[in-house]
Structures are given as C-alpha cells and as structure tokens.
Chain A
Amino acid sequence: MGMTMIENLLARKAGVKQVRPGDIVTVEVDMCVMIDLQFATLWIEPSRIHDPDKVAVIMDHAVPAPTLKDAAGGPKARKFVADFGIQKFFDVGRHGICHQVIAENGLARPGEVLACTDSHTCAGGAYNTAARGLGPAELYSILCTGSTWFQVAPTVRYELTGQLPPEISGKDVFLYLADSYGDATNQNLEFSGPGLASVPLNDRRTIATQAAEISADFATFGVDELLAEFLAERGVQDYQPAAADPDAEYLDVRTIDLGALQPYVARPGTVSHNGVPVSDIEQRKIDQAFIGSCANGQLDDLRIAAQILRGKTVASGVRLLVTPASQQVYRDAMRLGYLQDIADAGGVVTNSTCGACFGYHMGVVGPGEVCLTSSTRNFTGRMGSTEAEIYMASPATVAASAVAGYITDPRSVTT
C-alpha cells in the first residue's frame, strides 16, 4: 500500500522504506528557525549547537520592542548569532513575520523538514516542506542535536476541482473548509487536484498557515509548475519533492469545487463549524479592521486591499490597521503605491510584526468592540479584551467592510 505526501517525505528523511499512521520516526531537521520571543522568555546560551548553517534567527513577534522584557531579549539574540556565526539573522530592519521571511529567503525547501517555534510554521507546507510549529524547549533541543521525532498522523486529502474565481481568496477556501469539516486534531492535510493550478502561491500559504487553527499537524501542497517557478525565483534548487503514491491510504478524501466558493466570514471564538458566507451575515458594525499576519499580510493581500481602498475613505468610527508581513513586503508595497492608497483612504500602516494578531501590541481591541480581522485566530481574548468580538475574513472583505463600516461582501464594492 502506498504512502501519502507527508508519509513519503517523513519516510525518506527517517531513512526507512515505509511509515504508517501511528509510527514514531526520528528525522534530521534541515532548518531550525528561532524567533525573538525565545530569547526574551527561554534562553540559556548553549555550549555547542548542531550546525549554524541550519539555523535562522528572525525577529518578528515583538519588534520594535514594546516591553523591557522584549528589549532584553534582543541583545541575547544578537550575541547568540555572533557567538555561533549564524548568517541567517533577520534583525529589525530586514525582519518580518518568520513565515514570510522563510518564504522570501527560500528557507522552506520541498521534501525537507523545517522547525520553528511559532505555531503557524505549517505555512511552509505550501512549499512542499514538512514544516510545523514546535515549542521553544523542543526548538532548543533541535538547535543542539539537529534532530527530532514525529508520530505519523493519518492524512486527509483535499481534492481541489474547478477554478478559483478571482474575487475568492485562500482565506475564503480555508474558512469554508473549517466551517464544513471542523477540527483536524492529530491529522495531516494534503492539497492536490486539477484545481490547484488556479490557486496562487499566496493563497496556498494562507491555507497552509491556517491549518494550525483546525489543529492539524502538517499541511502540504505538492510541487507543480507554479511552485517550481516561485522557488526558482528565490534561488531554491536541487530539491527532492515529496509526492503521494497513487495508492496512498487516506483517512478521508474530500472534493472541493473551487468555482462554487463564496467569500466567507468566521464568527467569534473559533473557525471550526463557525462560518457563514459573507452575503448571509447580518449587518454587523465594526470598530477595528485588521489586515496583516503571516496568513494575510503578503504583498498580494496588500494589493487587493489597496485596489478596494483606492479613492475611498474608511468609514467614520472604524480603525483600519494594515501590517505588512515583512520589511520586504513593506518596501515593495510602498514602491507599488499600495501603502499610499491605504493611507490616503485613512488606514494606518504599521511596521511589520506579529503585533495585533496575537493581541500583544500595535492595535489591541477593547471591551465591547468588534474587530474584523484577516489574521490567524478569532479566539476569545486573542486580540485584547475578552469582551471584544473577533470576526475573521479575507483581506478583500476586511477592506470593503472598513469602507462600509460593517461586514460587507467585497463583490458589492466597485473598484
């Protein structure tokens, strides 16, 4: 019996012929990505590390430092990279949310294993990488020993058919899946099918990133022409893609007709069985609109938002915050005029950081407020007060709603 995409990848990396759900495998980790929080909260400089070339340090969650605790972490990170000669250091100024920086710099390679402290590391699955979030203690262990273990979970395959309509984004695809099928605890997700070619890389990354919200382990896409081109542009070569065997065994195979999808919104609390097509939601006034995060602060997300906002004005009583996913995205969006459009409409563009998405800084929400976000989580209290309500939708829906003042179908807005 054949293996799924992730099973093939893990088997090869573990040096075994076959793995099955339930098996425990030990694998070498090709890239160990450490973030600023690690240095601020859990840091003892090790006496030796496995391989400095397989380590990247990215400052993202709390930059520029909003607290003394975070400020104290920065020098520890800088000392560590200097002491061990780590070249892949993305300090403030060339920083960004780690999953965006990983993508821009080709750190997630097909068929390889990537570990990072942030729970949205499954983002790297968009590039055919076995990437997932692991805790700071485990990252520490990988940094020192170069390897870790995984228990192989069963795989659910999403077979994509049809064409993704231009006004529908990866966020809508994800919110639809989460609403329809719920949690994927201790499951891997695999995305394939003839419709995949119509799903751009930025949307694939949104989907892979948000697999964390439905509690999945790995979420992987195969290498196709679109991905190969993306990787070539970033100098990624000599990789060994992982693919599923034709007779692979899945926990479930679910067919999604991309052409039938609509813009979706998740109601506050969870994305799991908690969504509704935007066209069906009651008129819901919003106080804050947020476009950003590893899931949706990409250049394409800012382009879509700028197109909707160009020549319009953010509604009175609404704060629109836009956080580019990296300094590179910020610079590109500035050069292309997107930031101008956003700011002219009355939006606030912030520096790149995880900031408002995890309710730490740069736009926390207060009691009684309603936030519509394109970020990653709508948990109670996630973005500030536990008495705030967080709805989640695509950047297009957030931008259109910021102009209207209430949750709005972006297809109703002329650009």
Chain B
Amino acid sequence: MNTAVTGRVWVFGDSVNTDAMYPAFAMKLDIPEASKHVFYEIRPGWTDLVEPGDIVIAGKNFGVGSSRPVAALFRHLGVAALIAEDFNSLFFRNAINAGLPALTAPGVTGVFRDGDVGSFDISTGAYRNETAGTTGHAQSLPPLILEILASGGVLARLAERGYLPAELLDVLRAGAIPQAGGSGA
C-alpha cells in the first residue's frame, strides 16, 4: 500500500460539525448530489473548487456530531485524506471505515494555509508543507487501522471475506456505495 498522500490543502477551523458537512436536507439526496453540499454554510461554493487528490485540514474536535457517513461524501469528491488537530472519535472511525486516511496532527493548522501543497505519510505520520518547506509529525496510525485502509475500507474488507458479494469488491474499494435496486441485495 502506498502510504504517501500529497495534494493541495484546504484549511478549516475548530469544531467543524457533521451538520456543516452533511446537512439534514442533503440526507434526502443520493451521495453524488449530497456531496455538493459539504461545508455549504461555512464555505459556500467549496465543492466547485475542490479537486480529486486535495486534502482537508481542520482544527480541534473535527467532526463532532452525527454518525451520518460524511466520509462517503469526501470520497465522492476525491478528497485524499483528512488531517486535524484532533478528531471526534466517531468521525475518525467513519473516515477509516470508509477507506479515507485520517491523521491526528496537533499544531497542523499553524503549518498550512489554504492552497499549500502538503505531503503526509499515513504510516509514519511525517508530513511536509511542500510550499513553505516546513515539516512536522502527526500521530502514526496503528497496524489495525492501516489494514482497514489497505483494504479500501471496512465494506471492501467484508467483501474480501465473503460477507458481501465478491463482485462488489472493486466498487466498494473505490468508496462508492452501490445503489442497489429492488430487494436491497
């Protein structure tokens, strides 16, 4: 597994909550439509600017709130990783389980500004601001979490193990949620 993630960063503040990323009205929509409303109030228009491979950096208590699958929206937008001073643990788990790398990096919002290019090694935690030339260290991820990420998330892992149809493996690894018709199979 390639553990290096490099991309343009977007920097957000403290206590960005799940309602700010996945508002209730968007829960009535399918994932591609819902993903157009991420940060709809705190940074309107952001989803038109974000590009595949970009990285979201946030302050403390990132993702306080609901269990709603925000990470699925980020993956749909192509966001490559989430970095925060610290995470709400439910939100952190949701990211990992969706196959989206998440790193806890105290002090990180002081190291990056919007538009900088950042490189993060999710295995060692080492990171570098390629634009400013500064470096830092995030908490490294334990092997159990790296294994889930290597599978492409927990649903892909279930497909690998025969709990879900094997033919869905690729689509689950890609972070897409199959919109199955009829019986829900």
Contact = CB atoms under 8 A, between A and B. Distances in A.
B185 A358 contact: no
Contacts of B68: 37
- For A79, A135, A359, A379, the residue with the greatest tally of chain B CB atoms inside 10 Å of its CB is A135
A39 interface: yes
Contact of A217 (B19, B72, B89, B154): B89
Interface string A327-368: 000000000000000000000000000000011100010000
Interface string A38-76: 010111111110000000000000000001010000011
Contacts of B65: 119, 212, 377, 379
B158 interface: yes
10 contacts: A67-B28, A119-B66, A138-B154, A185-B61, A212-B65, A213-B64, A360-B24, A379-B20, A380-B19, A386-B41
A364 B28 CA distance: 14
A41 B27 contact: yes
B184 A39 contact: yes
Given A43-B180, A134-B93, 19 more contacts: A44-B168, A47-B162, A47-B164, A67-B28, A119-B67, A133-B90, A135-B90, A136-B69, A137-B94, A137-B154, A137-B155, A138-B94, A144-B164, A149-B144, A151-B89, A185-B64, A186-B86, A377-B19, A379-B17
B129 interface: no
Interface residues of B, number: 51
Contact of A44 (B89, B153, B161, B178): B178
A235 B131 CA distance: 63
SS class of chain B's interface: helix, strand, loop or mixed? Answer: loop
Contacts of B108: none
Interface string B113-156: 00000000000000000000000000000101000000001110
Contacts of B178: 44
- Range of interface residues on chain A? 35 or more
A215 to B, nearest CB: 5
Nearest to A213: B64
Interface string A195-217: 00000000000000000110101
A184 B15 CA distance: 12
A360 B184 contact: no
B183 A76 contact: yes
Nearest to B168: A44
A28 interface: no
A145 B89 CA distance: 21
Given A67-B28, A382-B19, A117 B89 contact: no
Nearest to A143: B163
A185 B86 contact: yes
B147 to A, nearest CB: 11
A130 to B, nearest CB: 14
B98 A137 contact: yes
B109 to A, nearest CB: 15
Interface of A: 24, 37, 39, 41-48, 67, 69, 75-76, 79-80, 117-119, 132-138, 140-141, 144-145, 149, 151, 153, 183, 185-186, 212-213, 215, 217, 270, 272, 358-360, 364, 377, 379-382, 384, 386
Contacts of B93: 134-135, 138
Interface string B160-185: 01111100100000000110100111
B60 interface: yes
B60 A185 contact: yes
Contacts of B71: 135
B97 A135 contact: yes
B184 A381 contact: no
Given A67-B28, A137-B155, A186-B89, A44 B184 contact: yes
Given A69-B28, A381-B20, A45 B69 contact: no
B158 A140 contact: yes
Interface of B: 15, 17-20, 23-25, 27-30, 41, 60-61, 64-69, 71-72, 86-90, 93-94, 97-98, 142, 144, 153-155, 157-158, 161-165, 168, 177-178, 180, 183-185
Contact of B155 (A37, A39, A140, A381): A140
Given A79-B184, A80-B184, A186-B89, A140 B24 contact: no
Nearest to B23: A381
A137 B163 contact: no
A384 B25 CA distance: 8
B15 A46 contact: no
B146 to A, nearest CB: 12
B107 to A, nearest CB: 16
Contacts of B142: 24, 151
Contacts of A384: 24
Nearest to B155: A137
Contact of B67 (A47, A117, A140): A117
- For A44, A117, A132, A360, the residue with the greatest tally of chain B CB atoms inside 10 Å of its CB is A44
B67 A133 contact: yes
Nearest to B185: A45
Contacts of B164: 44, 46-47, 144
